């Protein structure tokens, strides 16, 4: 087993400490940070994401794996800062105004982070102007909105309109989700995509950004 | 002050649908007096709720109530419960909820006078105290608005006061995602403290307005775990244990003075009925319009009210969805009640139980023998911590035995989880103070401890 396989295996098993040590060793041996990220950390995480999607793993196990990946990333991230490998893309995410539901949005954030995206979580009850501010400040590739109530889902449209007014709509892809949301509704409000659950959100983002599981453009 | 229950109100043969030990009568409607009554709830279709749309919103509520009352009358249903669950905007602006309550009350009174349809109106303001992070459970403006909503809606014609309170959710949400029983128990303790605070005040409002402090639900905990288990995110055995522990939390409402009927989405109501003898509302197969569950039949085994949870006001082929729900509930209730009239209540209950119990761990812990064992554990001596730990351990033991004897199906991938939960529970300290000390730091960012009414020694030792 080479060092990259060892890192991937430790990530897959959710071993934070072992992952950290293996990454440290790989760096000491002169392995390129980009290879550690892709051939080690991401490879391990992707294997887990597939198992989770096919119902072979539970979320708590994925969280442990995400923790291991994060532990490994603490050494690699500073070395990749400013390069095209620093993140697969930035996602601003939030539950829309008037809606306090948290957990679905949090699940999506976990899945996206696990897939290598940088997630800026704006929380719940987020007004349109806050989404706009975040887009201006963070310059994300994706904006994700969640709503769990029939009486708050229309605020998603308000956010899209606010982004249009500020000429920011063309800069981002918009994804939506939540119990009352459907693909038809996403089309109606001119969102770019709808994720039916947290598990499919990362695939949707990848497909919108036209990248593969390693963040490489297709 | 919390009333303490020392004994159970029922034995296995008497724990039946439609029969409470302490029935409740108001406006000619008796709940738990022998018949199961439909409880209907509905919500708006996609639309904005703001000052400018309130006239349309109120018209729509009136339309929904008129529709369900008309169908109930046509189907010879003599009494119904209508639940008006306030949306966040209506709780933030108590006058809005009050105005709709007045309209609904007036309509219900018209149907009573004209058609003889008896009804009670359950008022459920939404717990808006989560707007701040960490949530302000006691000191925020939201707490005042929430209590003001209760008061105004009660004065405007509400009969039953309820809430889905969310105390402790800042801890239980991440703990559910991590299948972390330690966190679930810590969140339960926060929830118990919050319930004591909240229900003391709701009961005072009920006394002041001559309304009924009905009950709460740990929906945000138990049903979150249930839905995540249904989606395959967390193990079903874990969701089953979480459900059992929610009994400790929801009981606090009754210890603080609530008298039922408990809120429909609290599947833990089965334990609370066994303990308190008060009537309970339940939801099962006819609530699939709102969410899926594995408890469609068994949830009806002990129901005094039978609910649809909630349905959007949208058009279906036959009619508007709330009217469709009303019809489904009425037919369900007819079957319950005819079974009871023909002295088949026990057999019918057992059919409801047996059709679900072996197929899912969450249903298995709602079997009569499991309900009684868990209920006894919930009221065992000790504080909320001891009760929570004992209840979780008892639930694990019941599930382990059920799996061993082949009485309940355990999905293959859940095989190791019973042992994992046993280990987690064995690692817990023996006292609440010690537990606080161990857990306090881990949650201090998510929780503002000043918002929970713990006694000083707990806080000091916890720190």
Spell out the domain ranges in chain A. Answer: 3-80, 90-209
CA atoms within 13 A on the CB side of A210: 2
> Residue A96 forms beta bridges with which residues?
A126
Please write the tens of the pLDDT for every residue from B135-194.
Answer: 999 988 999 999 999 999 999 999 999 999 999 999 999 999 999 999 999 999 999 999
**A158 Cβ neighbours under 8 A, 6+ residues apart:** A97, A128
Query: How would residue A84 be classed by pLDDT, with cut points 50, 70 and 90?
Result: low
Answer yes or no: do A151 and B131 touch at CB < 8 A.
Answer: no
| Whether the Cβ atoms of residue B451 and residue B137 lie closer than 8 Å to each other | yes
CB spacing of B46 vs A154 below 8 angstroms: yes
DSSP-based three-state secondary structure for A69: helix
Could A151 and B89 be called an inter-chain contact, meaning their C-beta atoms sit closer than 8 Å? yes
pTM: 0.93
Q: Of A85 and A54, which is predicted with more confidence?
A: A54
* Interface residue B109 vs chain A (CB under 8 A): no
Contact B247, B374 (CB under 8 A): yes
By CA distance, what is B134's nearest residue in A? A123
Q: Containing domain of residue B399, as a range?
A: 19-457
Contact map slice: A 38-57 vs B, CB within 8 A: 55-57
Asked whether residue A175 carries a pLDDT value surpassing 70, the answer given is yes
Report CA-CA distances (Å) from B442 to B130, B239, B252. 20, 23, 25
Residue B240 CA, distance from chain mean position:
15
Place of tokens 């029939």: A150
Q: Write out the two tokens for A43.
A: 């490879």
Least confident of A58-67, A80-89, B36-45: A80-89
What CATH fold (topology level) applies to the domain A3-80? 1.10.1240
Separation between Cα atoms, residue B25 and residue A28, nearest integer Å: 77
Strands (E), B149-224: 160-162, 212-215
Domain annotation covers residue B7? no
Residue B397 to residues A105, B48, B231, B388, Cα–Cα distance (Å): 34, 48, 25, 14
Asked if A124 reaches chain B (Cβ–Cβ under 8 Å), the answer is yes
Nearest to B246 by CA among B169, B310, B147: B169
Name the nearest CA neighbour of B244 among B409, B423, B389: B389
Report yes or no: A151 at the B interface, CB cutoff 8 Å. Answer: yes
Distance from CA of A73 to the nearest CA of B (A): 21
Give the residue among B401, B89, B300 at the shortest CA–CA distance from A97: B89
pLDDT band at A80 (very low <50, low <70, confident <90, very high): confident
CB nearest A63 (choices: B44, B47, B177): B177
Contacts of A155 in chain B (CB under 8 A): 48
Alpha-carbon span A147 to A153, nearest angstrom: 5
Instruction: Please write the tens of the pLDDT for every residue from A100-152.
Output: 898 999 999 988 988 888 999 999 999 999 999 999 999 999 999 999 999 99
Neighbours of B136 (CB within 10 A): 17
pLDDT grade for A85, boundaries at 50, 70 and 90: low
**Which carries the bigger pLDDT value, residue B149 or residue A85?**
B149
* 3 state DSSP class of A175: strand
CA distance B128 to A80: 42
Instruction: Give the architecture-level CATH label for domain A90-209.
Output: 3-Layer(aba) Sandwich (3.40)
Give the count of domains, chain B.
Answer: 1
**pLDDT tens-digit map of B37-85:** 999 999 999 998 999 999 999 999 999 999 999 999 999 999 999 999 9
Query: Using a CB-CB distance cutoff of 8 angstroms, which residues of chain B are in contact with residue A101?
Result: none
Cβ <8 Å between B88 and A124: no
Judging contacts by C-beta atoms under 8 Å, the chain A residues touching residue B173 are 102-103, 106
Walking along chain B (463 residues) 10 residues at a time, the average pLDDT comes out as: 93 98 98 98 93 96 98 98 96 98 98 98 96 89 97 98 97 96 98 96 98 97 96 96 98 97 98 98 97 96 98 97 98 98 98 98 98 97 94 98 97 93 97 95 94 60 38
The rounded percent of chain A whose pLDDT value lies above 70 is 96
| DSSP notation for B359-426 | T-HHHHTTSHHHHHHHHHHHTSSS-HHHHHHHHHHHHHHHHHHHHHTTSS---GGGTTHHHHHHHHHH
On the question of a common fold for A3-80 and A90-209, the answer reads no
Question: How many beta-carbon contacts under 8 Å exist across A and B?
Answer: 75
Relative orientation angle of helices B169-177 and A103-114, to the nearest 10 degrees:
40
Q: Nearest C-alpha of chain A: how many angstroms from B297?
A: 24
CA nearest to A95 within chain B: B131
């Amino acid at each position: 087993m080479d060092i990259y396989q060892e890192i991937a295996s430790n990530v897959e098993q959710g071993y934070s400490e072992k992952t950290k040590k293996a990454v440290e060793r790989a760096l000491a041996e002169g392995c390129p940070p980009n290879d550690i990220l892709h051939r080690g950390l991401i490879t391990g995480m992707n294997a887990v994401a597939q198992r989770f999607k096919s119902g072979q793993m539970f979320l708590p196990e994925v969280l442990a794996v995400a923790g291991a990946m994060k532990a490994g990333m603490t050494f690699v991230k500073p070395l990749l800062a400013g390069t095209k490998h620093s993140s697969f893309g930035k996602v601003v995410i939030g539950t829309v105004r008037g809606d306090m539901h948290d957990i679905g949005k949090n699940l999506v954030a976990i899945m996206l982070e696990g897939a290598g995206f940088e997630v800026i979580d704006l929380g719940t009850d987020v007004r349109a102007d806050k989404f706009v501010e975040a887009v201006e400040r963070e310059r994300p590739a994706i904006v994700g909105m969640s709503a769990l109530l029939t009486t708050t889902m229309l605020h998603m449209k308000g956010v899209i309109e606010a982004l249009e007014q500020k000429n920011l709509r063309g800069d981002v892809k918009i994804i939506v989700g939540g119990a009352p949301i459907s693909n038809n509704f996403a089309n109606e409000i001119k969102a770019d995509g709808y994720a039916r659950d947290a598990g499919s959100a990362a695939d949707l983002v990848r497909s919108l950004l036209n990248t593969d599981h390693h963040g490489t453009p297709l | 002050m919390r009333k303490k229950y020392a004994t159970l109100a029922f034995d296995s043969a008497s724990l039946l649908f439609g029969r409470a030990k302490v029935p409740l009568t108001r406006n000619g409607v008796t709940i738990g007096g022998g018949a199961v009554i439909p409880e209907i709830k509905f919500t708006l279709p996609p639309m904005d709720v703001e000052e400018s749309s309130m006239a349309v919103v109120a018209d729509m509520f009136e339309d929904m109530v008129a529709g369900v009352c008309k169908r109930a009358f046509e189907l010879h249903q003599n009494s119904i419960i209508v639940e008006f669950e306030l949306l966040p905007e209506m709780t933030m602006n108590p006058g809005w909820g009050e105005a709709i309550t007045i309209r609904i009350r007036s309509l219900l009174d018209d149907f009573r006078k004209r058609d003889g349809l008896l009804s009670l109106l359950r008022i459920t303001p939404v717990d808006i105290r989560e707007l701040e992070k960490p949530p302000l459970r006691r000191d925020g403006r939201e707490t005042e608005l929430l209590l003001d909503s209760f008061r105004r809606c009660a004065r405007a014609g509400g009969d039953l006061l309820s809430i889905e309170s969310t105390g402790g959710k800042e801890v239980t949400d991440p703990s559910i995602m991590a299948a972390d029983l330690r966190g679930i128990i810590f969140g339960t303790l926060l929830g118990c403290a919050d319930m004591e605070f909240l229900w003391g005040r709701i009961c005072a409002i009920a006394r002041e307005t001559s309304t009924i402090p009905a009950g709460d639900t740990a929906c945000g905990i138990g049903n979150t775990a249930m839905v995540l288990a249904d989606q395959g995110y967390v193990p079903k055995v874990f969701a089953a244990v979480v459900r059992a522990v929610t009994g400790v939390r929801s009981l606090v409402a009754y210890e603080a003075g609530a008298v039922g009927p408990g809120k429909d989405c609290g599947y833990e109501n089965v334990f609370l009925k066994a303990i308190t003898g008060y009537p309970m509302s339940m939801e099962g197969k006819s609530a699939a319009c709102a969410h899926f569950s594995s408890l469609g039949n068994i949830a009806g085994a002990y129901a005094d009210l039978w609910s649809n949870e909630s349905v959007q006001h949208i058009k279906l082929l036959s009619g508007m969805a709330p009217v469709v729900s009303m019809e489904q509930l009425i037919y369900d209730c007819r079957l319950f009640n005819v079974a009871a009239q023909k002295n088949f209540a026990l057999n019918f209950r057992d059919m409801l139980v047996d059709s679900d119990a072996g197929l899912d761990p969450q249903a298995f812990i709602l079997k009569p023998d499991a309900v009684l064992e868990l209920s006894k554990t919930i009221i065992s001596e000790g504080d909320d911590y001891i009760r929570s730990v004992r209840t979780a351990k008892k639930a694990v033991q019941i599930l382990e035995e059920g799996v061993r004897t082949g009485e309940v199906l355990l999905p293959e991938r859940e095989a190791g989880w019973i042992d994992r939960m046993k280990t987690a529970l064995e690692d817990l300290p023996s006292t609440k103070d010690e537990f606080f000390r161990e857990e306090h730091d881990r949650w201090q960012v998510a929780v503002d401890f000043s918002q929970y009414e713990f006694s000083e020694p707990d806080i000091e030792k916890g720190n």
